[in-house]
Structure 1
């Protein structure tokens, strides 16, 4: 992969201000406010029906908010038609014209904007090279793989040099290997071009890998917006903790901003219960296991070898189970039925007020 270069243009700030949108009696957006810095890539992540696609469609001008504003740079574009918003979009469906070559598909938007034929050819060649498809410029959609077609769709969106790039689940129709490759390619291109980008996905790995910041949405609201590593390690709510990554809910007692969890006392993160019983939210990699010489904390009931790491399910005497993820090299002697000790590695945890 080519290293990112200096952006070819400066991106614009995007502000979503108190957006509300309902469909019948269903609230899709409930006062969503979000600011994207110039040149930033923000991913909106969440379950189906959380409002992320509605937000993107409102930014694109394909839907209208019941209230609130969309501001791009210094311009309020809330009432501006989609065709006048200077935005590039890439959807899940490639939507290429089957009777056009890759080059012609990329030139199409430029033709609509009145660019002369020589300028269209030059610009299309530039963006096809940017996405690594110069050698395929004369191919039709049916002659290209899914990943290549999506690269053409990306090149077509970038060819018009939009002030904003909108990506709506662009990788979900691809197989896992191609999805990972194209995900990295989109990020490389976005960094090189410098376009402010809103990326909508339901795939948490995709969001964490590609974005400067990730926003987790739930029932039309933004639960948390943070850098990927902060979102993962310091979730602001039980919903975020459970939705992003794997999570154990371990019964514990809280007092004075500290929780007793798996034989250790650790600090609680903001948003935790103040006192009494709760459920500590513990990532699988925040624990370790070892064969128990004496009193065991539980018994191995399932063990999965996943290459560089292993996932171990430990059944505890109280009937609960723990999912632990450790380097594969640390568990050579463990097998189903092995009595084990479980140690907590985390120094601070979010404690939810319920065990459900």
Structure 2
């Protein structure tokens, strides 16, 4: 087979549509998935995000065929695969545990799936070398697992999953066992490889930073249901539900009064994420970076936006300052660390609210 033919075949196999239709899964009295509907477009990278027990891993396992659904369908490239066994679904899987064969080199691990498929030795070795080069391990092809770092082992696992040219790539918290710096580098590498190969990918994680950083769309799950599925910026800036607003990022909870499709928050009128919200008293969810801070002018009349700095958290390039507003409670303000020194603990401060759309809850 020529390189051109191989590339054409790979392109034809990549980028299939995946649909999870009304999937239900129960474990005794516990409903892990409650009528889940989820579509992955061709070549799309979707991340499922949520707390432990929300159903995200169950959804991936049903797609992989590792578990049977109690109801609903799994459709891949227009074909109903709900009752097909795992080995008939043509999917590549990478899990939290690297699961490399300790007695095999990186090249042999990557070639293992091809050997099971009857590919001759020369072709599978060439393919393994190609995949290891794709994930940046061309110099480690003959190393055993114990001779590689955790990040390198996970790259081998990714290369092994891609070597069989699967129709769908499934990633189940593949970075959670790695340290922060390696995790950030490898997540970017996974995204680069996914874009280069063009494969439809489902990525399950509890780490919101990972999901927001590399996914085309993020699905936030709660109690077996999909609360929101949207591009990362929309999930963060325009959360569909209070659960999404509180799970993804941090939010200040401030007293508000809704009227005329706006919220009056501490005397500041802010637009609503949902303009159809009913009038009345509510709680506005305001992001810390949407809060500004200045020094309270001497002799100025006190306003609901005035308070006292009671804490500062150093987070590297940014810092979070806590301002106690009295009856309105504490408010987090996020700002560059270079500016935080101007507001020492105990100092008087006045906050401001950026006119971003806010979600309210009752």
TM-score by length of 1: 0.95
Alpha-carbon offset, residue 255 of structure 1:
1.1
Alpha-carbon offset, residue 346 of structure 1:
2.9
Which of 264, 269, 272 matches 1:260? 264
Partners in 2 of 1:282 and 1:188 — Cα distance? 33
Which of 178, 183, 186 matches 1:174? 178
* SS, match of residue 335 in structure 1: coil
* SS, match of residue 171 in structure 1: coil
1:199 equivalenced with 2:203 (yes/no): yes
Hey, what does 2:85 align to over in structure 1? 81
Hey, what does 2:356 align to over in structure 1? 347
Partners in 1 of 2:340 and 2:144 — Cα distance? 51
Partners in 2 of 1:337 and 1:121 — Cα distance? 66
Partners in 1 of 2:293 and 2:340 — Cα distance? 8
Matches within 5 A, 1:1-356: 9=11, 10-270=14-274, 273-293=277-297, 294=300, 295=302, 297-318=306-327, 320-353=329-362
Report if aligned partners of 1:46, 1:52 keep a CA contact under 8 Å in 2.
yes
Hey, what does 2:4 align to over in structure 1? none
Per-residue displacement from partner, 1:135-188 (whole Å, max 9, x unpaired)? 001110011100000000000000000000000000000000000000000000
- Kindly tell me the number of residue pairs found equivalent between the two proteins: 348
Alignment CA distance shift 1:23-1:322 (3 Å): same
Alignment CA distance shift 1:50-1:91 (3 Å): same
Alpha-carbon offset, residue 271 of structure 1:
7.7
Partners in 2 of 1:291 and 1:144 — Cα distance? 53
Partners in 2 of 1:244 and 1:347 — Cα distance? 17
Hey, what does 1:3 align to over in structure 2? none
Report if aligned partners of 2:261, 2:275 keep a CA contact under 8 Å in 1.
no
Q: Which structure 1 segments of 5+ residues have no match?
A: 1-5
Partners in 1 of 2:272 and 2:118 — Cα distance? 59
Partners in 1 of 2:276 and 2:223 — Cα distance? 21
* SS, match of residue 134 in structure 1: coil
Alpha-carbon offset, residue 53 of structure 1:
0.4
TM-score by length of 2: 0.94
Report if aligned partners of 2:254, 2:328 keep a CA contact under 8 Å in 1.
no
Alignment CA distance shift 1:216-1:271 (3 Å): farther
* SS, match of residue 139 in structure 2: helix
Alpha-carbon offset, residue 217 of structure 1:
0.3
187-196 or 302-311, larger mean C-alpha shift? 302-311
Q: Which structure 2 segments of 5+ residues have no match?
A: 1-7
Alpha-carbon offset, residue 306 of structure 1:
2.6
